[in-house]
Structure 1
Amino acid sequence: MDRSITVLFGSETGNAQDFAETLTRSLERLHFKVHLSSLDDYDLKNLLSVRLLIIFCSTTGQGEFPKNSRKFWKFMLKRKLPNDLLNHLYFTTFGLGDSSYPKFNWAVKKLHNRILQLGGVEFSKRAESDEQSSQGADGYYIEFQNLLLKNLNEKFPLPLGQTPVPDDVKLPPKFQISIDLKKPKRKTDTLIKEIALTRNDPNLRIGTVEKNIRITSDDHFQDVRHFSILDKTQQLNYQPGDTISLFPTNDPKEVDSLLEIQGWTEIADRRILIEEPYPLIDGSFIKTPTLRSLFTHHLDLRSIPRRSFFALLYHFASDEREREKLKEFSSYKDPEELYNYANRPRRSILETIQEFFSVKIPLEYILDLFPLIKPRLFSIASSPNSSKVELTIAVVQYKTMIRRIRKGLCTSWLKNLKEGDEIIFRIDRNNLKLPKPEVPIIMIAPGTGIAPMRSLIHQRVFDFNANKNQLYLFLGNRYHNKDFLYGEEWKELEKKERLTLFTAFSRENGGYVQDQLYLQSELITELLTHGNAVIYICGSSGKMPNQVRMTFETILEETKGLSKNQAKQYLLELEANNRYLQETW
């Protein structure tokens, strides 16, 4: 009996990939032969022969697919595909979403329905998780996995005499890694910035830091940076709403700490050999990595450890009490255990390894255990420019409930970059469907959500010379004199009647952007009804997007006399016509 299963994932931040990898290990313990891949790295010809397919897919932005799944979805949309193309296929899907987004789990819904249209047969009930729920995605996943494994065991029972691999038996490593002892040690990797530039992905560019300046006051709790990169070697091509990917590195001191704890100092500067298949590294490997440079540039030490991390780590603890504790964190029996240890205090992977003294990680398992450093995406804050791109970046630094200071991997790296430093970057097209210059646009931008708005405003005012008073900006900050981001720019444009500005400084006069929206109810209704205006919302996910949406519903109810359901339907129609755009993170 063929016991092959294909597990595919579309993942933006790594959550969908982590669940896919967790399920893969469970399937391998049941002696299934699993092929794991991102959707876009999957050879589409194999769809004609694969029998069992499981897909994990998150949703980003306005119901969009993650970047590593858009090629796959484009293929699935081809009109010439026959309706019985996948009638040999048994499949199920798991969606990762956030109900604060209007198009909640939109991507996985579309993908699931399209596979059904092409003849695929659902063999186990699909599931959609909600990051905003009290149980998080984990609770949804374990129910999905339990039902899935039950259905698989019924349809594809183990051959007679074969038993599942016990959880206490570790599976062999997926990646073959070894130390090259034939060649001499490289010099200790002191040239970290230069090594980072050796990636050979043709989509990457090498730019020069032009500016890296703080734009919040020195006494403000948050350091927000205006950051610009020059690239005069190739013409840049981007539009408002597009993003840039940056490739951060770990702090050398933290890398040294890990190498010392694990007893790898003597081999840290020897070249490592990795056999195919390679791990799926976005941006490709740096050239000829050593153990030190692999940890510096590719393996994430600051990320919060996931359940799959503990499921492998506990095998490497020699102390029985530590082993049992690590095993508890890998279990779904009490999800609060892991949450209270890792997520609530925001513990990092490095701190976890430091706290469990008996853990000694075999070198051949490091690519299975440590997550890869993913590129960080930032909204572009400049009008399209052929040689320069500007960003607005909040440096992540805070104190946890256990009074430890946490720093974001990318923003702490970026903060220390100096003018003239060279860095790797990539422009990522967002394909945001923005209106024509003559169409009014209502922009809601708390905090660093201002970045894509600034790009749009600059393009309309300076490039398109758009009509006066077609731009309405609702800007939310804490203090007028501390974090009014690009405030002088907005005041100048307001004087010239190129922008209508509404501000909410929450720590001075109270109120938030939604309060300013409500105060302008008549204007909002006029713009939406007679001006065909577009609503564009950017900023942190969570309460803000829902509260802004509820405010728009209230405005429509009070000014147009709509019922609550009619107001909701009105906004849904705006979304369908690309007149209600939301990007939150």
Structure 2
Amino acid sequence: MTRSLLILYGSETGNAQDCAETVFRIARRLGCDARLSAMDRYPFIRIVDENLVVFVASTTGQGAVPANMKAPCSSTILILEILVLVAPQQPPRRPAACLEIRHLWPRRLQLYKLEQRLSQLGAQSILPRGEGDDQHPHGLAVFDHSDSRVDGGFVPWLDKLKAFIHPDTPIPDALPPDAILPPIHSISVHSDSIMGLHSDSIMGLQSDSIMGLHSDSIMGLHSLDSHSMEGSIPVVVVQNMRITAKDHWQDVRHIIFKSHPLDFDPGDVAVIYPLNPPPDVSLFCQLQRYNATTMVSVSSYPHPIPLHHLIACHLDIHSIPRRSFFNLASYFTTNPTHQQKLVQLSSPENSDDLYDYTSRPRRTILEVLADFPDIRIPLEYLLDVIPPLHPRHFSIANSTEKTEIHLAAAIVRYKTILWKERWGVCSRYLDSLIIGTCHTTRLTLGTTISIDIEKSWVKLPDSKTPMVLIGPGTGIAPMRSLIQSRSQNPAAETILFFGCRNKEKDFLFRDEWKYHNVVLFPAFSRDQKNKEYVQHVITRQHQLIRDIVRRGAWEFGENATGRSSLSVGYSRAC
């Protein structure tokens, strides 16, 4: 009898989705009737009819719930609670297995208690919860966990799941290891595809073809990873100015977008969908022998689109390849030596080799394909092998002018042991934005952009409430928005702690603070022999903070790096 298996994932940057797809492929290979879905796409009214459910969930940022998990969580809990209330004598007991992908320092983050909540609502766990850390040198494969009740790493947890699905008795429907599974995502060549043009024609298509694809066309492409651009706002770039010293190691930009009057508040976030540069799209097509102007049909989009549009705005060809990439790529080369090497890199036993080849030098998928030129990814497998290009989020740094959106964006640009300079995908895109021309599509390279605005979950106090703001580096962006908002009307005391390296090099918006009703305490860590950070200044001002907290002050902290111990310094001061 074929075992039924449902895999549900909540993913923000693609790590959990990649793990879920790996579980799906293994289950299919073992002969299971496996199905895969993002949590926000699954009709949860059917959950009680499932035999076995695997939940793969990640944290994002400081432990928040992924975007494609927010909507279903409430509906799942509501549905299961109704079922329990209707039939309390026979609560639903659905077998479940949970894998949590922790993003950044898992021991410091408290996940949203998915496993605990499922258990409360009647789910029966079949395996210990698995955890993985995408920042571990070996990636998600292994992760040392002090809790014996938790499986550390994706691979050990997956081995136990395979043992549960595939016991010692052989399964007739199981597939051999060398058999390639059908693709998960659907993509095909359209019957009326443009023929005769080659990948180098992309450069000549920028002005006509790329500018002709409007933002409503992108909604379908990005829906593949459950991100929608519904309501995206076309904006004009009116400023892209460096605000750190030219000799400073970090390039921080003050970028201003102009648009019609917008609805946003302090703490809201601008969501930007970056593009791959046309030369890199052209190189990708050359390596894969693709006709760049081929019209392709994607299951989540109703109309055919040129292949180079799909690669430019949906595929993350500059991401660091995961283990699953090498596993799939090994099926698509006819070079025995290359195939053996790809299989080795996909094996958990060779985690050190994978780390040295990919993570340490930050080698990208595009560069791996250049290193293995015999890899030929069939078009129908393109969306399975190459991960989706995810949006980037930036705190909005203004509030007074509602026809503008200001960003304080650090350009990620660095060198590794490889000869070619590394760029952040969105950093290179922002760096290329040129002031001027208006167009209603985010695909107008170097001129305009379309953005989304995400509302903050934080409910801000009224202006009569004193505030303590902590914003080091580019974390000053939401503080600037909040201070501008409070300056428009009489407001209670506002204290701002800001930190950077040098007063003369990266003191962001330094000339503005004197025009606002704010008490500023800066910390410049490199301007004196003994390094001084924000937490040191907070500790010295403990009496001031204690007094303002007693008067009901509200604290708002933004961490530019995710690592600093601001909360520690603040708690000690209080």
Structure 1 counterpart of 2:236, one-letter code: T
Q: Equivalent residue for 2:111?
A: 106
User: For 1:14-413, what aligned pairs fall within 5 Å after superposition?
Assistant: 14-61=14-61, 63-78=63-78, 81-83=82-84, 87-98=92-103, 100=105, 104-107=109-112, 109=113, 111-131=114-134, 136-139=139-142, 140-154=153-167, 159=171, 162=172, 164-180=174-190, 182-185=192-195, 188=202, 189-191=205-207, 192-195=210-213, 197=215, 198-200=217-219, 201-232=229-260, 235-264=261-290, 267-274=291-298, 276=299, 278=300, 288-383=304-399, 386-413=402-429
The 1:306/1:126 distance shift into structure 2, 3 A limit, reads same
Q: Which stretches in structure 2 are left out of the alignment for 5+ residues?
A: 143-152, 220-228, 438-446
- Where does residue 433 of structure 2 map in the other structure? 417
| 1:210, distance to aligned residue in structure 2 (A) | 2.6
Task: State how far apart, in whole Å, the 1-side matches of 2:569 and 2:155 are.
Answer: 36
Please state whether the residue corresponding to 1:341 is helix, strand or coil.
helix
Do the aligned partners of 1:47 and 1:86 also contact (CA within 8 Å) in 2?
no
Residue 478 (structure 1) aligned with residue 501 (structure 2): yes
- Cα drift, residue 60 of structure 1: 3.3
Q: 2:518 aligns with which of 487, 499, 508?
A: 499
Specify the alignment match of 1:578 in structure 2. none
2:490 to 455, 465, 490: 465
- C-alpha distance after superposition, 1:17-61 (max 9, x if no partner): 111111111111111122211111111222131121111112235
**3-state SS in 1 of match to 2:28:** helix
The superposition leaves residues 235-282 of structure 1 with CA deviations (integer Å, 9 ceiling, x where unpaired) of 522222221111111111111112112222xx22121133x3x4xxxx
Aligned equivalent of 1:523, options 515, 520, 544:
544
Q: 1:196 to 1:480 in 2, by over 3 A?
A: farther
1:550 partnered with 2:571: no
**Distance in 2 between the 1:533 and 1:96 partners?**
35
Give the 3-state SS of the residue equivalent to 1:501 in structure 2. strand
**Residues 100 and 215 (structure 1), Cα distance of their counterparts in 2 relative to 1, 3 Å cut:** same
* Residue pair 1:503, 1:513 contacting (<8 A) in 2 also: yes
CA distance in 2, matches of 1:411, 1:141: 31
Q: Structure 1 pair 130/440, CA: closer, same or farther in 2 (3 Å)?
A: farther
Query: Contact 2:281–2:312 at 8 Å: present in 1 too?
Result: yes
Displacement of 1:151 in angstroms is: 2.2
Preserved CA contact (<8 Å) 1:40 1:68: yes
Identity %: 33
Deviation at 1:433, TM superposition (A): 3.3
Is contact 1:87-1:121 (8 Å) kept? Answer: no
Contact 1:86 1:115 in 2 (8 A): no
Equivalent of residue 537 in structure 1, options 526, 538, 557 = 557
Q: Would the aligned equivalents of 1:129 and 1:141 in 2 still touch at CA under 8 Å?
A: yes
Q: CA deviation at 1:2?
A: 4.6
1:437-457: CA deviation from partner (whole Å, max 9, x where unpaired): 322322222211111111111
3-state SS of the aligned residue for 1:199? Answer: helix
| Distance change (3 Å), C-alpha of 1:133 and 1:339 | closer
Partners of 2:322 and 2:279 lie apart in 1 by 23
Aligned equivalents of 1:506, 1:244: Cα separation in 2: 29
Deviation at 1:373, TM superposition (A): 1.0
Whether the 8 Å contact between 1:60 and 1:66 is mirrored in structure 2 is: yes
- Rounded to whole Å, the distance in 1 between the matches of 2:393 and 2:32 is 36
Query: Residue deviations 1:468-522, cap 9 Å, x none?
Result: xx222111112212211111112333xxxx1111111222123211221222222
Question: For residues 12 and 184 of structure 1, do their structure 2 counterparts lie closer, same or farther at Cα, with a shift above 3 Å needed?
Answer: closer
**Partner Cα distance (1:212, 1:372) in 2:** 27
Q: TM-score, normalised by structure 1?
A: 0.84
User: Which stretch of structure 1 is more off in the superposition, 380-389 or 365-374?
Assistant: 380-389
Aligned to 2:475: 449
Distance apart, 1:63 and its partner CA: 4.5
Q: Structure 1 60/367 Cα, relative in aligned 2: closer, same or farther at 3 Å? A: closer
Q: Over residues 139-173 of structure 1, what are the superposed CA-to-partner deviations in whole Å (9 max), with x where a residue is unaligned?
A: 1111211122222334x9654xx163233322122
Identify the range of structure 1 (334-343 vs 530-539) with the bigger mean alpha-carbon deviation.
530-539
Q: Using a 3 Å threshold, how does the CA distance of structure 1 residues 136 and 366 change in structure 2: closer, same or farther? A: closer
Whichever residue aligns with residue 430 of structure 2, its letter is: L
The amino acid across from 1:238 in the alignment is F
Give, in whole Å, the separation in 2 of the partners of 1:296 and 1:14.
18
Which residue identity lines up with residue 346 of structure 1 in the other structure? Answer: R
What's the CA shift string for 1:539-575, capped at 9, x where partnerless? Answer: 244531xx2233334445xxxxxxxxxxxxxxxxxxx
Q: Which TM-score applies when normalising by structure 2?
A: 0.86
Deviation of 1:381 after TM superposition, in Å, equals 1.0
Q: 1:196 to 1:305 in 2, by over 3 A?
A: farther
Q: Which runs of 5+ in 1 are unaligned?
A: 279-283, 557-585
SS at the partner of 2:41? coil
Contact 2:541–2:573 (8 Å) recurs in 1: no
CA contact (8 A) 1:240 1:384 kept: no
Mean Cα displacement is larger for which, 214-223 or 383-392? Answer: 383-392
Which amino acid counterpart does residue 83 of structure 2 have in structure 1?
P
Q: Which string of whole-angstrom CA distances, capped at 9 and with x for unpartnered residues, describes residues 188-223 of structure 1? A: 532334425343553322222232222122222222
Inter-partner Cα distance in structure 2 for 1:104 and 1:504: 27
Q: Which amino acid aligns with 2:256?
A: S
**Inter-partner Cα distance in structure 1 for 2:91 and 2:327:** 35
The answer to whether the Cα contact below 8 Å between 2:192 and 2:295 also exists between their aligned partners in 1 is: no
Over 3 Å counting, the alpha-carbon distance change for 1:16 and 1:430 in structure 2 is farther
Contact 1:181 1:270 in 2 (8 A): no
Distance change (3 Å), C-alpha of 1:229 and 1:374: same
